[in-house]
Structure 1
Amino acid sequence: MVDPTSDLGEDIDEADAPTCANCGDPIVQSPTHRVVTWVEDGRVQHRHFCSDDCRDAFAE
């Protein structure tokens, strides 16, 4: 897994890239990439989304 704070557009292979939590597409060099972060039980959690539309459509 790639560090979510890294520059994801730099030298990231598609196999190592994060995937969108909604559609499952790998996120490589995407200017619309969004990361949602929250704290749960004292641990930082996060989800990657390829776009605002996928973030808005995501249902837990």
Structure 2
Amino acid sequence: MVDPTSDLGEDIDEADAPSCASCGSKIIQSPTHRVVTWVEDGSVRTQHFCSEECKVAAADEA
């Protein structure tokens, strides 16, 4: 699998691309792609967002 966070998503097939945690859109070659990373129960967790707006919307829902 190609790293979905590499260089704005170049060379990533849509099937392997991350989905926005807020709106569900596939994130491919998006300069507005945001990733939130945290550690939970000893494991690294991530959430991908297609834009700052979706990141803020998800935070508002939490």
Residue 9 of structure 2 is matched in structure 1 by 9
Residue 36 of structure 2 is matched in structure 1 by 36
| Separation (CA, whole Å) in 2 of partners of 1:38 and 1:14 | 25
**Any gaps of 5 or more consecutive residues in structure 1?**
none
Larger helix share, 1 or 2: 2
Check whether the contact 1:2–1:18 (CA below 8 A) recurs between aligned residues.
no
| Separation (CA, whole Å) in 2 of partners of 1:7 and 1:50 | 15
| Separation (CA, whole Å) in 2 of partners of 1:23 and 1:57 | 9
**Any gaps of 5 or more consecutive residues in structure 2?**
none
**Root-mean-square deviation (Å):** 1.8
Q: Secondary structure at 1:28's aligned position in 2? A: coil
TM-score (norm 2): 0.82
Identity of aligned residues (%): 73
